[in-house]
Amino acid sequence: MLWALIFFVYPVKFNGYFESEFYTEKEQNPVYWNLYTPKNYIEFKVSAHPIGGGELYISFNGLSNSNGTQFFFNQGHLQLNRKHSSLAIFAREDRYWVQSPLLFLVNQDRLKDDNFGPKGEGVRFDFWDTYGFFGTGLASKYKSWDGEAYIGRIGRNFGKFLTLSYMYMKKDWRGGKEPSFNKINSGYLRLHIYRTLYLSGEFANAVHPNQPEGDSVTFMDKSAIQIELRRVYFKGFNISGSYFNYGKYFIDEMSNKFNPGFDHEFGREGIYGEILYLVPYKAINILYKTSRYRSWYDYPVLLSSPYAVSWNYGEIYAEFKKGVSAKIFAERTLNKKGDWRHIFFQIQGENTRMKVKLQYKIKDIGINIQKKDNDYSIGQRSILGTEMWINLTGWLQFYMRGALGNGQGLNWNTLFAQIAIRKFQNSEIFIEYGDPGATDGDLVNDPDISDFPYQKIRDRFKILLKYWF
């Protein structure tokens, strides 16, 4: 009670988290059980809200493992909040989100200098609802190398009818090829037409040192545009569609989408469509998505003429009585490298005592590696996976997930099991067996199990203690 009084009356909060981990694993050669150095981790969080709209947050951690014991600063910010604005100086935080609804020009991970944890530091200013205007200014320093990122965005809402905005972004670095920066200018427009129907468009132009010079490179080659019509509602059908044209040399290192090191989606022109049908009076959704476009890249090679790509995806999701649901989807991609077909089934049941999920996926249907009809695949394979939660008592829970893979001449498997004890307040104890990593991305859809035919059950036991204070 006394503690509660202190922490709620005073504008400062101390919180923390402690974790202790012991694990042992069976090494293969020579065979023996290796007991790893126990890991102890403690994290403190301090937040203060002194008067005047100021805010301070810092977190720091202590880590004890085979490297010894050390204390480190995790992340923190100093912030000034006003009714329609905020100013923050931050370190190592995820504060880079800026709206780019169609082209996704900003990706937080590309700005926060994220390699084994964010390291970027910067300042961010936001304002909103100021005579209809809104905006963001952001300047950030990459800390593990010499460079900076700047983003400025300003826009105005004309009631609900029209939104307009302009954004300027620049990533700056030292030396190398001139210009030593990547600059983006972009504009966004959204028009409300009728009820749920909106027309929106986003256009961006890039400057990057890797763009070639010369008359053959047009302005549109360095630009990207996307126009979207969202949510035409007609008798239970929701229809959306968009047209996009991403220039061959539209490079945006602050995004994932147009980043050569990540999704490199530049050099594409095409359409995207989506139909969602909600079956009346039934808990059934039917979804169809398609995309057709021409691509200039067999990445990283720029081709002399584009080739066609089509992608189709159909899904039925249904919920039945007594907590049972099912999902089926089929997906097909046709591109320069082949014809890729997958099919997926899932059934799930749930009650107060337990929850069970069963998944089955057949991937790369029809591809036979014996015939060498595709160099890019390990061939058709099927993966069966299951995941279950069982509440043994009010405080004891059993959890398990595992998968079996069956391919052409190969079998593989993975298993993870856990007993969770939540008997004590603010704490959790876990006893674990196996490898959690292979199926943590939605079971059989995780590439670690669907694309990696050498997974084996790992003999590994782990005891984990977690405590919050």
Partner 1 sequence: MISKFFVILLIGLPKGTDRGVLFTYFAPDAKSVYLVGDFNNWDTSANPMEKDNEGLWKIVIPLSPGKYQYKFFVDGRYEADPTNPITEGPYGNSVIRVGENFRVLPPKMSNNTPMNSYVTFSAKAKGFLSIDRDTTGSYRLFNTTTDVRMGVNVNVQDEATLKAILHYNTESGQDPSTHQIPFYFERAKLNFDKGNLHFISFYNTFAYQSPDPITIIGKVNEFDYPLGRDEEGILTKIEKPASYSIHALYSNSLSTGRDLGFVRISRQKGVLYTAFFTYINHGDNIEYQVVSPDSEKVNDSTLLHFNTYEDRVLFGLEFGEKDLMTYEFVWGKDIKRANYYDVDGTKTQNVPINRKWDIGKIYRFRTMYGKKTAFVYSDVERHVFDSLFSAKFGKSYSTFRLGAKLSSKRLNIEISQNFLFAGKNSTKWDALFREIDITRRKYIEYPLMGYARYTYLHAATHKTLLKRLTITADFSTARFALNQPPRADEILLTFNLPLGRVGTYYDLRYFHIKSSYLNTDRDFFDHYLELYYRPAENLKIKAGYGFYPYNLLDEHTARSEYLWNTGIGLSQIASNFRGLGGLIEEGENIIAKNREIRLWLELSF
Site residues for partner 1 per CB under 8 A: 2, 6, 9-12, 14, 46, 48, 50-54, 56, 58, 60, 70-73, 76-78, 80, 87, 89-92, 115-117, 119, 121-123, 139-141, 143-144, 148, 150, 172, 174
Q: Show the CA angle centred on residue 428, arms to residues 424 and 432, nearest 5°.
A: 135
Amino acid at 35: L
Rounded least distance, CB 100 to partner 1, Å:
22
Q: Alpha-carbon distance 170 to 466, whole Å?
A: 42
Q: Are 247 and 224 in contact (CB under 8 A)?
A: yes
Rounded least distance, CB 109 to partner 1, Å:
15
Q: Is the CB of 123 or the CB of 229 nearer to partner 1? A: 123
Q: Is the CB of 116 or the CB of 281 nearer to partner 1? A: 116
Q: Is the CB of 179 or the CB of 441 nearer to partner 1? A: 179
The answer for residues whose C-beta is within 8 angstroms of residue 393's C-beta and 6 or more apart is none
Rounded least distance, CB 179 to partner 1, Å:
10
Cα 206 to its chain centre, rounded Å, is 24
Rounded least distance, CB 143 to partner 1, Å:
7
Rounded least distance, CB 94 to partner 1, Å:
15
Q: Alpha-carbon distance 258 to 249, whole Å?
A: 9
Q: Which two tokens stand for residue 398?
A: 């059993």
Q: Is the CB of 143 or the CB of 231 nearer to partner 1? A: 143
Task: Determine how β-strand 396-406 pairs with β-strand 411-421.
Answer: antiparallel
Rounded least distance, CB 253 to partner 1, Å:
17
Q: Which two tokens stand for residue 452?
A: 């990696």
Helix residue spans in 279-365 (DSSP H):
none
Q: Alpha-carbon distance 278 to 93, whole Å?
A: 40
Q: Is the CB of 119 or the CB of 422 nearer to partner 1? A: 119
Rounded least distance, CB 147 to partner 1, Å:
9
What does the buried/exposed string (b/e) look like for 195-223 if buried means 16 or more CB atoms within 10 Å of the residue's CB?
eeebebbbbbbbebeebeeeeeeeebbbb
Q: Is the CB of 141 or the CB of 327 nearer to partner 1? A: 141
Rounded least distance, CB 278 to partner 1, Å:
48
Q: Is the CB of 47 or the CB of 290 nearer to partner 1? A: 47
Place of tokens 């988290």: 17
Q: Is the CB of 118 or the CB of 407 nearer to partner 1? A: 118
Rounded least distance, CB 8 to partner 1, Å:
10
Residue 5's φ and ψ, nearest 5 degrees, are -60, -45
Q: Which two tokens stand for residue 290?
A: 């398609």
The secondary structure of residue 117, as a DSSP letter, is S
Q: Is the CB of 183 or the CB of 264 nearer to partner 1? A: 183
Q: Alpha-carbon distance 432 to 466, whole Å?
A: 14
Amino acid at 402: G
Q: What's the longest Cα–Cα distance across the chain? A: 75
Q: Is the CB of 14 or the CB of 33 nearer to partner 1? A: 14
Closest CA to 270 of 324, 327, 322, 226: 226
Amino acid at 151: I
Q: Is the CB of 5 or the CB of 31 nearer to partner 1? A: 5
Rounded least distance, CB 130 to partner 1, Å:
18
Closest CA to 100 of 254, 223, 259, 290: 254
Rounded least distance, CB 88 to partner 1, Å:
8
The secondary structure of residue 321, as a DSSP letter, is G
